[in-house]
Chain A
């Protein structure tokens, strides 16, 4: 099993957000997490990535057989966890190229590999740029600074392609994309996904799941996974909304 979350509880400033999440992800699988606003989807993603702001109050996360809590943020990334941000951060003055070179080479160092030389790196980057249709002009700009919403999301997929993660968690990477961009993003994900890695997409739209076909669909509400089904569940939610699941939501 690639990722195993058992009864995870997490809070921020004393306010409980995750209240007993259970989730199993195997290599080769694509999972979708849906659920109402403000119910803990991004929190779950952040806790997996290691954001210190959230306090883990209980439960376990095992990743590749290791206790995830033993690893810091960058170690988790080097172990193959990739978080596609719902709100990608702007980094003025740091170009995408130097950002990615630092990331790729630090991950290589972690794995005991030599850094990529400039020439090889540029070639590798070109390849991945083509995948998401990122122009050189954009690649030379500061990370996300002044990017449109769609450009930021494409940049997340570009970074994922560069880093070749084993577990990609994409938090609303489809939000704010036009149809063409959505196809590009979904295409990027599909190209990456294979039998050795896994993808978890967090989304509000069943539309995305026409392009990225999930093996499992989960509903996260009030800090718990309240229902798990197949891609048909997403269609059902599209029609019925989340209200009919209320019975499953125990607290309040």
Chain B
């Protein structure tokens, strides 16, 4: 076993040669390699134990009744060996739903679970998923594999979410992922989610930090949905401006499985949301929504790769961003339709609203289709606030600032209304409202900065 320090040194050394070069707007401005190669990278601490970290986080989100599990700096809070949904029960992949540490499962169960998540490490030839030439070349796909490896090598703990066949949780599951620390950190949060046949779950996953925290994270969520399983996964980020969060979500869907994924970037210095979905069997159905609200010098990068490898699969992507000040946003979408994926539907759309002259947004949609009986389209727009609408609103007595906010909120609503669970939708809507009125950062009472009254 190598020690962590040596490993990090090797990663830092190899990162230097892997920083994307190229010019133009899509020469990855945002890359984890760049962060690993940075001069101060090796000064970051990688926490080795969860000792001394808070075990419970106060969170008084109104009207949001959830099962709550906390993760802090990559460590799962809660009693060792237990099922965190039912603390009087042991962690097990039995016939009850279970949320626990991977380490708390028996070796046999661990193996059973991990078997679902090996696919992407197989050689392209032997695996089920055929990667295109472009995808296998050094580039996003190859980098992704590296970052998955990095996370697996270094993640101190893994949070497991398991639902047995046909199981529905009575209320949404909430994972609160907190980044804490007075010194610069490098974190590897890791989540494995298995929904067996016909199981269904609503999951809200918030990542928060101290406003001043200096965190670099290489987070990984791996999801496997068996036939007819349904997952609504709202991944939300609200961290300080010094945080750089790279979060890769990878999902494999079997026949008739449904994934509704929401990637909400409310705040963060650098945010990269990587999403890779494999529609492995007929009628697998994935919808990916993204909302990024950025200002100051913030940067976001949303990259989505959807592989349609079976017939009658469906995917839809809708990403929207509101960019203020000098914020920058990148979007890269890649839909791959293999020759056998006939009767596939794939829709891809990215829209940006630039509300300041210095804000920038770049979007690159890409469809790669080898089947002939398919319905696909893509669209990209970059626009500004409608001056006529602003004047019209001001003519009714609405202040310029409120009018701007009303328009921005209306823009974001199109994404929010896609959230299926009403209480989650209302909660997110109120967070977005606060984000636009600048109250989100100001909320100092609670470390999670997402509480507070009406506004």
Do A85 and B398 contact each other (CB < 8 Å), given the known contacts A91-B407, A94-B410? Answer: no
A93 and B413 contact, CB distance less than 8 A? yes
Return B158 CB to nearest CB of chain A, in Å. Answer: 40
- Residue from A73, A92, A93, A142 in contact with B395 in the complex, judged by beta carbons closer than 8 Å: A73
B400 and A89 contact, CB distance less than 8 A? no
Q: Is A4 an interface residue (CB 8 A)?
A: no
- Residues A100-155 near B (CB distance < 8 A): 100, 102-103, 106-107, 110, 142
- A89 CA to B396 CA, complexed, in Å: 12
A103 and B397 contact, CB distance less than 8 A? yes
- Residue from A50, A88, A107, A110 in contact with B392 in the complex, judged by beta carbons closer than 8 Å: A88
- A109 CA to B406 CA, complexed, in Å: 17
Do A94 and B396 contact each other (CB < 8 Å), given the known contacts A89-B388, A102-B402? Answer: no
On chain B, the residues within 8 Å of A100 by CB distance are: 396
On chain A, the residues within 8 Å of B409 by CB distance are: 93
Do A89 and B406 contact each other (CB < 8 Å), given the known contacts A49-B395, A77-B395, A103-B397? Answer: no
Q: Is B26 an interface residue (CB 8 A)?
A: no
Q: Is B49 an interface residue (CB 8 A)?
A: no
Q: Is B135 an interface residue (CB 8 A)?
A: no
Between A and B, 8 residue pairs with Cβ closer than 8 Å are A73-B394, A73-B395, A74-B398, A78-B397, A88-B392, A89-B388, A99-B398, A106-B397
Tell me the interface secondary structure of chain B in the complex. helix
Number of A-B contacts (CB under 8 A): 73
Q: Is A83 an interface residue (CB 8 A)?
A: yes
Q: Is B11 an interface residue (CB 8 A)?
A: no
Chain B contact residue count (CB 8 A cutoff): 21
On chain B, the residues within 8 Å of A72 by CB distance are: 394, 400
Q: Is B366 an interface residue (CB 8 A)?
A: no
- A73 CA to B400 CA, complexed, in Å: 9
On chain A, the residues within 8 Å of B370 by CB distance are: none
Chain A contact residue count (CB 8 A cutoff): 29
On chain A, the residues within 8 Å of B410 by CB distance are: 91-94, 142
Q: Is B391 an interface residue (CB 8 A)?
A: yes
For B405, give the chain A residue with the smallest CB separation. Answer: A102
B391 and A73 contact, CB distance less than 8 A? yes
Interface bits B230-262 vs A (CB < 8 Å: 1, else 0) = 000000000000000000000000000000000
For B387, give the chain A residue with the smallest CB separation. Answer: A53
Q: Is B9 an interface residue (CB 8 A)?
A: no
Q: Is B399 an interface residue (CB 8 A)?
A: yes
Q: Is A66 an interface residue (CB 8 A)?
A: no
- Residues B367-424 near A (CB distance < 8 A): 386, 388-389, 391-400, 402, 406-407, 409-411, 413-414
B392 and A89 contact, CB distance less than 8 A? yes
For B400, give the chain A residue with the smallest CB separation. Answer: A74
- A106 CA to B407 CA, complexed, in Å: 16
Question: Which 6 A-B pairs give the minimum distances between C-beta atoms?
Answer: A93-B410, A77-B397, A103-B396, A73-B394, A89-B392, A107-B397
Q: Is A206 an interface residue (CB 8 A)?
A: no
